[in-house]
């Protein structure tokens, strides 16, 4: 991009350059012997500028047509000045370079003579960055570096990309961390934010411009196609133009799918999304991607051992990287929110980083992680279904449930939940996508149960909280529960406003029974999640758009939820008594009757008790043996070494205690291993594999059991396995390798996991604060490991996500959680005289009655109305009971419910009305 006004431009540039060079020569440092080359370069440049200006005045030469030719000529003295390590000389040089870039007097588009394949601007930026030599760099120089780099990134006259962009960001980042001057730190941080804003905004703007260009081109093409067939020349020109764009763009070879780290080198042109789904259409997209990925990796760096120092580089680096990531996500445009490469980067880098930072003991890191998760949930949930589940299940809810977690962590989590629970779309989406998914956890149900316990104050004593902390936590829990019910009321408000509007929908006609009960489904969508511009712009290269969305069918989701409840009950029965659980699932049609069906169920269902699975497989009766054979035959040991195959075999269950059961399992394992590896020549028969498997299990127990004091040596293990290979010995090297591998990593049999929510609250209370913190740190460390492993496992997975639109989701949602909600509100009214608690409880009950009335749920409606009547003391048998403010407020709420929902209350109101009249009569 060339600036206008060539003659005036040349004079202005010469003035900048001349003054800067003269100032450098006037410095005392420049007159010293080490800077002889600098002096000569400055003098040569000044002489050339003087000669050129004289020629221009005489009119013998025209002003230069391209500024980069002169910039190349005059850059050497500034480069040497930046390398001089004299603060005054360096500052002068940086100031001049910054002005030349800012006013467009230097573009740097010329090739760099000293580095093939690079441009001069890359060398200029590299020179500026190299002026920072660490904390010892002069503070004035630091500010000049920041100023020059910001100008380089934001200037409309130059273009820097890829590694050069990263270098500018990295240098400002390092100045923020290393500088001892608070002003420089603040300036560097603000500059980083501004740089990122420019980088990502340019990417979005370029995509919008490209969209309008393509739309116009498409319109012209359609007009050309509509012309008579005689005009073949115009048609040929149109085709030729399209072919040219394709040639300059990314080739449609059908195999051009790049990974996150194997990036595309050709970024010119623009092709449609179906041709190169995982590639960038422009270099600006790659710039943004590289910066985003670098920030994610910086946020993953571990902190040092021990309590973190707030002033340490590690902690400050982590915090600023998370802050910058949060800023990027909050301001993300349609390209960033939909392009496959950015979605993959979020999955593979950001979510993995959050799994670690989301359990940090540092409040600032933890709070930033929660804010990032909240942004992901708001803007990226359609692409991150499995990642959101991991974060909820392994971090959010575990922190709420564990008895040793700190008040601060619980408070920050529940603060975040308050914002989540206030979004009706988000609340209904959580229920539809997780609680109504056979393969997902019951996030909505578990969340309400946890909040109900907090609202009842059941976790306060375990945590050792002060009464004030417990009360504030209870209020927040109640606030979340009330918000959830408000969301349900908001979601179904159309049914309340006009309960008889079913006939106008057209697409869906309810049955006569539904008409009588006042039910209705809304066939159309409630809201649009993506604007027309977003959806159109994001349909470009690499866009995943709505590929992962599925239609919203309330009836289908309700059927899935019922099936899920049957399976969960069957698993619960299995974990108590295996045959009973299998029988129940078969009776309900959720499990086949063949041995292969049951074996597949044992493989796939992770919630089964591993001990019970092992006992079932080890049983001696005929059917259990058939299942065990089918179970082992479904494992593929082809190409695996013996120890790896044994590890894989024992991952699915825990070995039973009886020797005969172990014997049967090991015998079948050995036979299956030989069957899968028939070309192996090491084992003479399956008997060899059987004996060796037994000896490996014995070795694992011996080496890794704390009860065994005298550990088996390598020589003893080799001696123990003599003659097992058809009376011959296995190679000593082979047995030594096995011993060393087991010594380094034991064969871990699958542990039994507790999936019941109630188990966490049954932990014994910790004796003192120090022990509680130690226990919590251990639990958080384990939580982070589990979450990270799960995040990495699903980093490449795609799961369909449904954006809920129908009203009728509220009915099953309320039916699922009405009891813990009622418990929370009842306990709150009964045990606490705080006016705010009472107000929240009454508001929740009022919302619950509204929902029960809308959907004709008689049992739930009666339960809430009777609870309200009970706390009004109108049904009290004795007139001596003290009437408190909360009881008076309850009466007011009861009257309000009668006024607003009286037509829906049915018989539940009759008994209250009678008792109310009797009480008034007795009172007067």
Positions marked catalytic: 658
The token pair that represents 557 in the structure block: 């989701």
Distances (CA, A) of 18 to 27, 39, 50, 65, 513: 14, 13, 9, 20, 91
**How many whole angstroms from its chain centre is CA 399?**
17
Closest listed residue to residue 848, CA positions, set 452, 463, 386, 575 = 452
Find all residues with CB under 8 Å of 605, minimum gap 6, and list them.
571
Report the distance separating Cα 30 and Cα 299, nearest Å: 43
Closest listed residue to residue 270, CA positions, set 246, 244, 238 = 246
Q: Do 430 and 441 contact (CB within 8 A), yes or no? A: no
- Residue 326's beta-bridge partner residues? none
Greatest CA separation for the chain: 116
Report the distance separating Cα 106 and Cα 121, nearest Å: 9
Report the distance separating Cα 290 and Cα 296, nearest Å: 10
Closest listed residue to residue 484, CA positions, set 414, 424, 536 = 424
Report the distance separating Cα 896 and Cα 905, nearest Å: 12
Closest listed residue to residue 381, CA positions, set 446, 432, 415 = 432
Q: Which residue has the tokens 């006992």?
A: 615
At 728 the three-state DSSP class reads strand
**How many whole angstroms from its chain centre is CA 400?**
19
Q: Do 608 and 618 contact (CB within 8 A), yes or no? A: no
Closest listed residue to residue 861, CA positions, set 891, 903, 892, 824 = 903
The token pair that represents 443 in the structure block: 């996030």
At 466 the three-state DSSP class reads coil
Closest listed residue to residue 299, CA positions, set 324, 323, 318, 327 = 318
At 626 the three-state DSSP class reads helix
Closest listed residue to residue 273, CA positions, set 285, 288, 290, 287 = 285
Q: Do 658 and 618 contact (CB within 8 A), yes or no? A: yes
> Burial level of 279, CB count in 10 A (0-12/13-18/19+)?
buried
The token pair that represents 711 in the structure block: 């550990």
Report the distance separating Cα 661 and Cα 611, nearest Å: 13
Q: Which residue has the tokens 């961390």?
A: 177
Please, what's the b/e burial string for 412-445 (b: 16 or more CB within 10 A of its CB; e: otherwise)? bbbebbebbbbbbbbbbbbbbbbbbbeebbbbbb
User: In 10 A of CB 265, how many CB atoms?
Assistant: 9
Please, what's the b/e burial string for 717-739 (b: 16 or more CB within 10 A of its CB; e: otherwise)? bbeebeebbeeeebeeebbeebb
The token pair that represents 845 in the structure block: 């009950």
Report the distance separating Cα 341 and Cα 260, nearest Å: 7
Q: What string of H, E and C letters represents the secondary structure of 205-232?
A: HHHHHHHHHHHHHHHHHHHHHHCCCCCH
Q: Report the run of H or E that residue 516 belongs to, with start and end.
A: helix 512-517
Closest listed residue to residue 281, CA positions, set 249, 247, 306 = 249
Q: Do 750 and 651 contact (CB within 8 A), yes or no? A: yes
């Amino acid at each position: 991009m060339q600036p206008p006004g060539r003659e005036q431009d040349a004079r202005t540039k010469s003035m900048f350059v001349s003054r800067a060079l003269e100032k450098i020569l006037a410095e005392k440092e420049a007159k010293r012997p080490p800077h002889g080359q600098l002096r000569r370069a400055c003098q040569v440049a000044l002489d050339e500028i003087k000669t050129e200006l004289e020629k221009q005045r005489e009119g013998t030469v025209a002003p230069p047509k391209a500024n980069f030719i002169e910039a190349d000529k005059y850059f050497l003295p500034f480069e040497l000045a930046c390398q001089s390590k004299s603060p005054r000389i360096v500052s002068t040089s940086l100031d001049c370079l910054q002005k030349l870039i800012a006013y467009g007097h230097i573009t740097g588009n010329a090739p760099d003579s000293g580095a093939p394949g690079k441009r001069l601007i890359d060398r200029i930026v590299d020179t500026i960055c190299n002026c920072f030599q660490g904390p010892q760099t002069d503070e004035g120089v630091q500010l000049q570096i920041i100023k020059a780099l910001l100008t380089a990134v934001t200037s409309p006259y130059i273009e820097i990309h890829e590694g050069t962009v990263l270098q500018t960001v990295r240098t400002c980042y390092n100045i923020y961390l290393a500088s001892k001057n608070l002003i420089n730190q603040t300036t560097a941080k603000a500059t980083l934010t501004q740089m990122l804003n420019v980088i990502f905004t340019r990417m979005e703007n370029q995509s919008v411009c490209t969209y309008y260009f393509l739309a116009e081109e498409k319109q012209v093409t359609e007009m050309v196609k509509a012309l008579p067939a005689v005009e073949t020349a115009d048609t040929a020109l149109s085709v030729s133009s399209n072919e040219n764009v394709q040639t300059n763009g990314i080739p449609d070879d059908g195999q051009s799918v790049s990974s996150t780290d194997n990036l595309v080198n050709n970024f010119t042109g623009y092709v449609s999304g179906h041709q190169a789904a995982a590639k960038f259409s422009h270099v600006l997209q790659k710039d943004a991607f590289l910066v985003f990925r670098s920030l994610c990796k910086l946020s993953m760096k571990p902190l040092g051992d021990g309590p973190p120092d707030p002033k340490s580089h590690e902690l400050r680096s982590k915090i600023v990287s998370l802050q910058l990531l949060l800023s990027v996500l909050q301001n993300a445009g349609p390209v960033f929110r939909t392009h496959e490469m950015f979605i993959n980067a979020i999955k593979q880098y950001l979510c993995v980083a959050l799994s670690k930072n989301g359990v940090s003991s540092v409040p600032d890191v933890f709070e930033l992680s929660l804010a990032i998760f909240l942004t992901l949930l708001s803007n990226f949930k359609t692409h991150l279904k499995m990642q959101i589940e991991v974060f909820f299940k392994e971090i959010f809810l575990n922190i709420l449930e564990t008895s040793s977690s700190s008040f601060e962590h619980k408070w920050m989590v529940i603060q975040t939940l308050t914002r989540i629970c206030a979004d009706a779309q988000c609340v209904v989406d959580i229920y539809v996508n997780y609680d109504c998914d056979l393969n997902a956890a019951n996030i909505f149900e578990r969340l309400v149960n946890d909040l109900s316990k907090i609202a009842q104050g059941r976790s306060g004593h375990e945590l050792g909280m002060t009464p004030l902390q417990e009360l504030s936590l209870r209020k927040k829990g109640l606030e979340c529960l009330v918000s959830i019910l408000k969301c349900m009321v908001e979601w179904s408000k159309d049914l309340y406003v006009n309960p008889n509007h079913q006939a106008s929908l057209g697409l869906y006609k309810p049955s006569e029974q539904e008409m009588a009960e006042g039910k209705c489904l809304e066939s159309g969508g409630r809201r649009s999640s993506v604007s027309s511009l977003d959806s159109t712009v994001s349909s470009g290269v690499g866009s995943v758009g709505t590929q992962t969305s599925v239609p919203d069918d309330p009836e289908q989701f309700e059927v899935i939820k019922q099936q899920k409840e049957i399976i969960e009950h069957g698993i619960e029965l299995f974990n108590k008594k295996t045959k009973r659980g299998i029988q129940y699932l078969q009776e309900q049609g959720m499990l086949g009757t063949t041995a292969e069906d049951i074996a597949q169920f044992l493989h796939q269902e992770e919630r089964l008790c591993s001990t019970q699975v092992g006992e079932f497989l080890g049983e001696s009766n005929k059917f259990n043996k058939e299942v065990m054979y089918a179970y082992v035959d479904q494992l593929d040991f082809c190409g695996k070494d013996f120890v790896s195959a044994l590890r894989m075999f024992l991952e699915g269950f825990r070995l039973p205690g009886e020797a005969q059961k172990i014997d049967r399992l090991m015998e079948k394992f050995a036979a299956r291993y030989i069957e899968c590896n028939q070309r192996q020549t090491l084992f003479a028969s399956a008997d060899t594999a059987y004996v060796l498997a037994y000896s490996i299990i014995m070795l694992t127990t011996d080496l890794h059991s704390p009860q065994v004091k005298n550990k088996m040596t390598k020589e003893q293990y080799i001696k123990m396995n003599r003659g097992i290979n058809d009376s011959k010995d296995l190679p000593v090297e082979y047995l030594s390798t096995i011993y060393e591998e087991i010594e380094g990593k034991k064969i871990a049999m699958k542990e039994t996991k507790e999936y019941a929510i109630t188990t966490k609250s049954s932990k014994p209370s910790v004796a003192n604060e120090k022990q509680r913190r130690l226990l919590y740190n251990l639990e958080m460390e384990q939580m982070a490991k589990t979450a990270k492993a799960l995040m990495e496992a699903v980093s490449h997975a795609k799961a369909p996500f449904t954006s809920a639109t129908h009203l009728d989701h509220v009915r099953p949602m309320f039916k699922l959680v009405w009891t813990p909600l009622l418990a929370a509100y009842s306990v709150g009214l009964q045990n606490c005289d705080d006016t705010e608690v009472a107000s929240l409880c009454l508001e929740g009950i009022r919302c619950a009655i509204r929902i029960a009335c809308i959907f004709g749920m008689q049992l739930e409606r009666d339960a809430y109305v009777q609870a309200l009547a009970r706390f009004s003391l109108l049904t009290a048998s004795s007139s001596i009971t003290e009437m408190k403010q909360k009881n008076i407020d309850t009466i007011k709420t009861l009257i309000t419910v009668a006024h607003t929902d009286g037509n829906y209350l049915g018989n539940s109101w009759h008994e209250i009305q009678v008792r109310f009249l009797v009480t008034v009569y007795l009172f007067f």
